[in-house]
C-alpha cells in the first residue's frame, strides 16, 4: 500500500490525495497498522492502528475505559519528562482525575456564562470589523479577523490584562507552528525549544495572575478557578497553567481555523453563500456544523488500549495504540453522502470535529460556535461582498488543520 499515515511525508501530499487515501482506508475490512519511525525528542512508539471510519472513532471515543487518553493523546507521544515540566493537561487524563478537572473548569462554559459573554463578543466583533473597514480591502483574513477574536474572548474570560495580550498572541502562534511537520533535526530542535519556552511563559503568566486573584478575587475566570467553590474544589497553580495553555491552543485554533476556512468555502461555493445570506439566522447554525465537518480543525488524537478488545474484526491488546482520524471520520460516506461537497443544508450534527462523543468532547464547542456565528453576522451585515482571494497557505501539519494566511477583499 502506498499510504503511510505514520510518515510525515504523507502530510505534505496535496489535500485531494490525502482525502483519496483515507477513502481507500475506509473501504478496508479492518483498521490498518502503521509502523512508526523514530522522531527526534519524541517517543519512538511501536506504531498504531488507524481508526478512519466514523463508527470506529465514535466507538473509541465513547469507551474511555478501554481507549485511554493516558499517557498522551498527541501523535507521536511526547517523552515522559514533559508532564513533569509543564504539568498534565486534562486532555491527557482519564477519570477520575479528568472528571475532577472538567467539573471545575466547566463553570467557564455554562449556558449562563456564555450568555453573559455575548455582549463582549459583540463588541469585539464590531471593533475588529471597524478596523477592517478603516484599513480597506486586502490583507490577510487570519491576522486581521480570525486570529483576533478567539484570543480576545479567552483573555477576557480569564481576566488577562490588556498589557499582556500581545505576548499571549505571540506565544500561541509559536505553539501552533510546532504542531507542523519539521523537515530536519535542527529545525525540530529549534522549534521544540521555542515551543517549550512559549508554553512555560504562558503558564508562568497565568500562575502569577492566579496568585494575585487568590489574594484579591475579581469577577473573572481565573479568580473563580483559584478560589474554592461550594464543594471546596479549585485548581492548583500547575493545573491552572495547564488549563490556560490548553484553552488558548485548543480554544483558539478551532474557532480561528473554522472562520479562516469558512470564508474560503463560502467564496468557492457561491450558491451556499447565497443560501446563507438569504436566511442568516435560520441557516448559520447548520453552516457552522458543516464548516467544522468539512474542515476538521483538529485532525487526529491518539488513544492507548487498556484491555483486550475486539473492534471490527481486529483484536486489540493492552498497550496497543490507536489514532482517531477525525478528518477521515467526517468524510465517511456511510454517514455523510457526497462528503466532499460543502452543503450548509445537510444534517452535519453527527460530525466529530469537536472530538467524538464521550468524556473528552470539547468543552468549548458552544463558545466556538458562538464566536463564529457572531463574527460572520458582523462581517456579512457590514461587508456583504467580503470574499477570500486565492488559495490559503496552510500549516504543514499532521495534527492541526491551521490556516497560516488567507488573502481577502470586500
The pLDDT tens digits for 173-192 are 666 555 555 455 565 556 55
In order of 142, 288, 315, the CA distances from 405 in angstroms are 6, 21, 43
Asked if residue 1 belongs to a domain, the reply is no
Using only the alpha carbons of the chain, give its radius of gyration: 21
Name the residue among 112, 121, 113, 154 with its Cα closest to residue 370. 121
Distance of CA 284 to the CA centre of its chain: 20
Strand duo 321-325 + 48-51: pairing: parallel
User: What is the per-residue pLDDT for 41?
Assistant: 55
Q: Per residue in 45-61, is it b (16+ CB within 10 Å) or e — as a string?
A: beebbbbbbbebbbbbb
The Cα 74–Cα 159 span in angstroms is: 29
Q: What is the pLDDT of residue 224?
A: 85
Apex 86 CA angle, 83 and 88, nearest 5: 50
- Report the distance separating Cα 307 and Cα 68, nearest Å: 10
Beta bridge partners of 154: none
359 CB-near residues (< 8 Å, 6+ apart): 64, 95, 98, 99, 102
295 burial class (0-12, 13-18, 19+ CB within 10 angstroms)? buried
Per the CB < 8 A criterion, the answer to whether 368 and 109 are in contact is no
Segment 140-172, tens digit of pLDDT: 999 999 999 998 899 888 888 888 888 887 777
pLDDT of 183: 52
Q: In this structure, what C-alpha cell is assigned to residue 178? A: 510546532
Kindly report the CA angle at 310 between 306 and 313, in degrees rounded to 5?
145
DSSP letters along 122-169, please? HHHHHHHHHHHHHH-S-SBHIIIIITHHHHHHHHHHHT--HHHHHHHH
Q: Do the domain assignments include residue 340?
A: yes
Kind plus residue range of the DSSP H or E element containing 187: helix 185-215
Rounded distance, CA 131 to CA 140, Å?
13
Lookup: cell for 303 = 488513544
Measure the CA–CA gap between 211 and 123, rounded to whole angstroms.
29
Give me the tens of pLDDT residue by residue for the chain, a chain 410 residues long. Answer: 689 999 888 998 999 999 999 999 999 999 999 998 765 555 556 899 999 999 999 999 999 999 999 988 876 666 565 554 555 788 889 999 999 989 888 877 888 889 989 999 999 999 999 999 999 998 999 999 999 999 889 988 888 888 888 888 777 766 655 555 545 556 555 655 666 777 777 888 889 999 999 899 988 889 888 887 757 788 888 888 888 888 887 778 899 999 999 999 999 999 999 999 999 999 999 999 999 999 999 999 999 999 999 999 899 999 999 999 999 999 999 999 999 999 999 999 999 999 999 999 998 999 999 999 999 999 999 999 999 999 999 988 888 899 999 999 99
β-bridge partners, 132: none
Q: CB count, 10 Å around CB of 134?
A: 7
Which residues have C-beta within 8 Å of that of residue 88, sequence separation ≥ 6?
A: 242
Domain hosting residue 125, numbered range: 8-409
What is the C-alpha separation between 284 and 235, in angstroms, rounded?
A: 36
User: Helices (DSSP H) in 216-279: which residue ranges?
Assistant: 221-226, 237-246, 252-268, 270-278
The grid coordinates listed for 83 are: 508532564
Quote the distance between the C-alpha of residue 153 and its chain's center. Answer: 16
Burial (0-12, 13-18, 19+ Cβ within 10 Å), 201: middle
- What's the CATH code of the domain at 382? 1.10.630.10
What are 174's three cell numbers? 509559536
CB 131 within 8 A of CB 250: no
312: left (phi over 0), alpha (psi -120 to 50) or beta: left
Number of domains composing the chain: 1
Amino acid at each position: 500500500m502506498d499510504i503511510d499515515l505514520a510518515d510525515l511525508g504523507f502530510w505534505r501530499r496535496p489535500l485531494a490525495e490525502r482525502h483519496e487515501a483515507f477513502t481507500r482506508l475506509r473501504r478496508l475490512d479492518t483498521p490498518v497498522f502503521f509502523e512508526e519511525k523514530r522522531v527526534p525528542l519524541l517517543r519512538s512508539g511501536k506504531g498504531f492502528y488507524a481508526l478512519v471510519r466514523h463508527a470506529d472513532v465514535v466507538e473509541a471515543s465513547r469507551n474511555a475505559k478501554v481507549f485511554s487518553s493516558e499517557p498522551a493523546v498527541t501523535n507521536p507521544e511526547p517523552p515522559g519528562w514533559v508532564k513533569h515540566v509543564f504539568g498534565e493537561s486534562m486532555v491527557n487524563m482519564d477519570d477520575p482525575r479528568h472528571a475532577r478537572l472538567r467539573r471545575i473548569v466547566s463553570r467557564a462554559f455554562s449556558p449562563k456564562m456564555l450568555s453573559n459573554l455575548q455582549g463582549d463578543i459583540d463588541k469585539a466583533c464590531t471593533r475588529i470589523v471597524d478596523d477592517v473597514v478603516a484599513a480597506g480591502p486586502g490583507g490577510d483574513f487570519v491576522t486581521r479577523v480570525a486570529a483576533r477574536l478567539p484570543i480576545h474572548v479567552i483573555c477576557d474570560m480569564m481576566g488577562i490584562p490588556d498589557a499582556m495580550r500581545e505576548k499571549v498572541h505571540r506565544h500561541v502562534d509559536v505553539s501552533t507552528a510546532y504542531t507542523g511537520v519539521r523537515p530536519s533535526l535542527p529545525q525540530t530542535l529549534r522549534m521544540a525549544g521555542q515551543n517549550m519556552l512559549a508554553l512555560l511563559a504562558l503558564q508562568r503568566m497565568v500562575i502569577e495572575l492566579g496568585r494575585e486573584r487568590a489574594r484579591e478575587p475579581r469577577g473573572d475566570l481565573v479568580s473563580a478557578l483559584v478560589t474554592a467553590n461550594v464543594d471546596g474544589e479549585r485548581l492548583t497553580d500547575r493545573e491552572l497553567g495547564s488549563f490556560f495553555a490548553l484553552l488558548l491552543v485548543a480554544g483558539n485554533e478551532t474557532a480561528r481555523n473554522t472562520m479562516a476556512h469558512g470564508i474560503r468555502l463560502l467564496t468557492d461555493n457561491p450558491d451556499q453563500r447565497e443560501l446563507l445570506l438569504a436566511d442568516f439566522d435560520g441557516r448559520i447554525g447548520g453552516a457552522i456544523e458543516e464548516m467544522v465537518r468539512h474542515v476538521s480543525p483538529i485532525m487526529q488524537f491518539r488513544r492507548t488500549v487498556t484491555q483486550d478488545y475486539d473492534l471490527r474484526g481486529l483484536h486489540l491488546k493492552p498497550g496497543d495504540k490507536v489514532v482517531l482520524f477525525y478528518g477521515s471520520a467526517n468524510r465517511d460516506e456511510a454517514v455523510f453522502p457526497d462528503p466532499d461537497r460543502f452543503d450548509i443544508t445537510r444534517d452535519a450534527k453527527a460530525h466529530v470535529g469537536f472530538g467524538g462523543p464521550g468524556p473528552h468532547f470539547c468543552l468549548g464547542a458552544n463558545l466556538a460556535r458562538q464566536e463564529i456565528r457572531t463574527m460572520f453576522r458582523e462581517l456579512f451585515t457590514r461587508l456583504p461582498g467580503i470574499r477570500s482571494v486565492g488559495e490559503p497557505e496552510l500549516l504543514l501539519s499532521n495534527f492541526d488543520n491551521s490556516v497560516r494566511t488567507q488573502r481577502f477583499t470586500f
